[in-house]
Structure 1
Amino acid sequence: MTRSKRIHTWLKITVVLLIIGVFALSALSFFFPKKRLSTEYSNGKETFTLEIINQGQVIEAEEKAIPVEVMRVQLSSTPDVVYLPSIIEANVDAMLSAEKGGRIVEIHVDRGDTVSKKQLLLQVDDRVWQANLKQASVAEENAARDFERIEKLIRSGAASQSDVDQADKFRIQTASVAEEARISIEQCQVKSPIDGVINDRFVEIGEYVQPGTPLFQVIDRATVRVVLQVPEKDVYAVKPGNRMRFTIAPLPDHSFEGEVTFVAAQADSRNNAFRTEITVDNRDGLLRPGMIAQVEFNRGTQENMVSLPMSAVLPSKGDHIVYVAKNDQAVRRRVQIEKLSAQNALISAGLEEGDQVIIEGNRKLTDGQHIIIIDMESSVQ
């Protein structure tokens, strides 16, 4: 058999085998139809129903609806309240310094002691001034007697007016020297200028001090000042006489109140804000200088605002989003947050009256996700 005949024979055999194979597959399909299996699986976020043919190929995946809870939006006016940080200061903060130089011979108080006005705190050695006072007092008495004697002599013509004037001048001089000695003795005694507390003491007994040496810091805690910086845009909303409330971190459930007693006439060049002081009665001693306070500042009202639970708001690439239920789908909306609190977010833009905001089940959603509403809470404002 020639080579060309052999090739022709193999081609015929191949064609016949192909035809037989096609008929065989058709018969198998007729007598053994493909079986379709149905199952469900979850990827951790959504649940899917799959239909699988007997060869293992996925031919259909049907997404199931995600159950969600929603709240209907109702726009409303909301009080525009902000909290401004502030610091508490003592109403009187006195730094006491030595007026006379000398050695400290007595210290009667220490840090934390409560003192009253004019109470003796410290004694500087005053023996030199005591000696000067004795000498000046004797001279003062002698000068006074001489003046009286010369006044009597002038009536009898035994003394001139010039003698009287000179005696009077000497009397005044000796009295001044004696008074200076008395003042110096008083200045050796350091007394409290106020009712208050010794916040600090800077010297020890036996030290030698010069005039101007710091001795004590005395503060008045019975009345304190809450000092805050009011922004330029809000300065006209606060005036002396206004009552303002504030809180402190150690007592978050306790609200304090005081009266605005000072608003700066000029803004601070560093922050363009106006120093404002609130005077507060602190006889119970709860407020301490140096504490940070949060002052409640009411700016008025804000229109068309929505308050949402924090669970409804999700972060997304630097923005904030919510999901709105529409036509059985979750629609992604970017919103603008005006203010945040521990439980709520105040929304100023991105939502409309009547929107159904998804508040539960939203963390599983994507834009356009099929949803089913299982609960609707009261309208949110």
Structure 2
Amino acid sequence: MLLALLASSACGDKQATERGGRDEAPAVPVTTTIVRMAPWNDTIAALGTATARESVSVTAKVSETVQRVHFDSGDEVAAGAPLVTLSGQQQQASLVAAQAAAEEADRLLRRQSELAEQQLIARASLDSQRATRDAARARVAEIRANLGDRTIRAPFAGVLGIRRVSPGALVTPGTVIATLDDIGRVFVDFPVPEGQLAHLAAGQRVFGRSDAYSGREFEGTVSTVEARVDPATRAVNVRADFPNPDKVLKPGMLLQVRLQRPERQALQVPEISVVQVGRESFVYRVGAGDAVEQVPIQVGGRDDGRVEVLSGLEAGDRIVVDGTGKLRTGSKVVEAEAAVPAATPAPPRTRERRRNAG
């Protein structure tokens, strides 16, 4: 009789254990969101190099000694401002002599014109003297032009580089005086794959970042798309125009460029909701009874914590954003705010109970 009772009790315990194993697991607290269509801007990323709007190396045209330097390294100058004056004593003396010769030739021409009107000299003599007068004037103009080359001027307004000459130095044609760059606006040239050629147009917005100015973003517009595709790289060069009022962008600077295409509507989800397994991407969709299922999706572009979904979801679907690491297909979920339990008071310590009992 006792053995029968023990066997019956053991059987009952086993059935209770099996029933307890079949009880549903507690719901996993997660955060969810509803998938919606929202504005989306496709972007094209590239590396670009900044160039000055105008750039030149100012050089000497003649061999001469530097008499005076009118600038310091890094100065901003206006168009036509004198930069260097070269010694021109020989040309000055030649100019005085040429002007005297021109005045004499002009005086003789006037005298012979009077004689020619009185038919006292041949017409050919008058024509010869006129040619002599014109040649003397041309000589004066030539010497003045040479003297003009003795003053080296800025061809346009801009910022000068490092001064490379000093007073007393001998310069020759081609000697670099300094560099001059107009950087009130800069160009940024960058390559774009030919597959994106149909999406390029003048006037598109471009954003650039430089490691030299962390956290700062520069904005410009596409000014030119190259007419040819490079057959070696299969890319087309694009030039963007960036305002540079504070002149922080320098020629030669490397910029991380982001070209923004026209806005469109796209289905998008938070980037943290996407689970990556190998080359495949999934999200957990909440279905009937708050049970989740793993849904494969096709991902498009990514931007600022958002992911474009090309297929696998529809507008209105509810997906899990945070807490995906604890989920499996069929898991029940509950919003994290609703899953916080009420605080339970801690039981008294054992020793305290014994002390009270004593």
Give how far 1:122 is off.
Answer: 1.1
Aligned residue in 1 for 2:28: 67
Q: Does 1:322 find its partner at 2:283?
A: yes
Give how far 1:118 is off.
Answer: 1.2
Q: Which one-letter code corresponds to 1:325 in the other structure?
A: V
Partner of 2:155, secondary structure, is coil
Q: Does 1:297 find its partner at 2:260?
A: yes
2:73 to 99, 107, 111: 111
Partner of 1:109, secondary structure, is coil
Separation in 2, partners of 1:102, 1:61: 102
Aligned residue in 2 for 1:373: 334
Q: Which one-letter code corresponds to 2:98 in the other structure?
A: A
Q: Deviations over 1:94-153 (max 9, x none)?
A: 222211122223222122111111111112222222222222222222222222222222
User: Aligned-residue CA RMSD in angstroms?
Assistant: 3.9
Identity of aligned residues (%): 19
Partner of 1:190, secondary structure, is strand
Does the 8 Å contact 1:84/1:297 carry over to 2? Answer: no
Separation in 2, partners of 1:296, 1:208: 49
1:76 to 33, 37, 40: 37
Q: Does 1:167 find its partner at 2:144?
A: no
Q: Does 1:331 find its partner at 2:293?
A: yes
Matched length: 329
Does the 8 Å contact 1:314/1:320 carry over to 2? Answer: yes
Distance verdict in 2 for CA 1:201–1:37, change over 3 Å: farther
Q: TM-score, normalised by structure 2?
A: 0.75
Aligned residue in 1 for 2:348: none
Q: Which one is further off, 125-134 or 227-236?
A: 227-236
Q: Deviations over 1:159-180 (max 9, x none)?
A: 2222222222222222222211
Partner of 1:266, secondary structure, is strand
Does the 8 Å contact 2:32/2:335 carry over to 1? Answer: no
Separation in 2, partners of 1:318, 1:205: 68
Runs (5+) with no aligned partner, structure 2: 339-358
Separation in 2, partners of 1:340, 1:363: 21
Q: Which one-letter code corresponds to 1:216 in the other structure?
A: A
Distance verdict in 2 for CA 1:286–1:243, change over 3 Å: farther
Does the 8 Å contact 1:221/1:282 carry over to 2? Answer: yes
Instruction: Please identify the structure whose Cα radius of gyration is greater.
Output: 1
Aligned residue in 2 for 1:177: 139
Distance verdict in 2 for CA 1:126–1:353, change over 3 Å: same
1:121 to 83, 88, 92: 83
Partner of 2:294, secondary structure, is strand
Between structures 1 and 2, the one with greater strand share: 1
Aligned residue in 1 for 2:272: 311
Partner of 1:215, secondary structure, is strand
Separation in 2, partners of 1:180, 1:253: 54
Q: Does 1:99 find its partner at 2:99?
A: no
Q: Which one-letter code corresponds to 2:144 in the other structure?
A: R
Distance verdict in 2 for CA 1:357–1:35, change over 3 Å: same
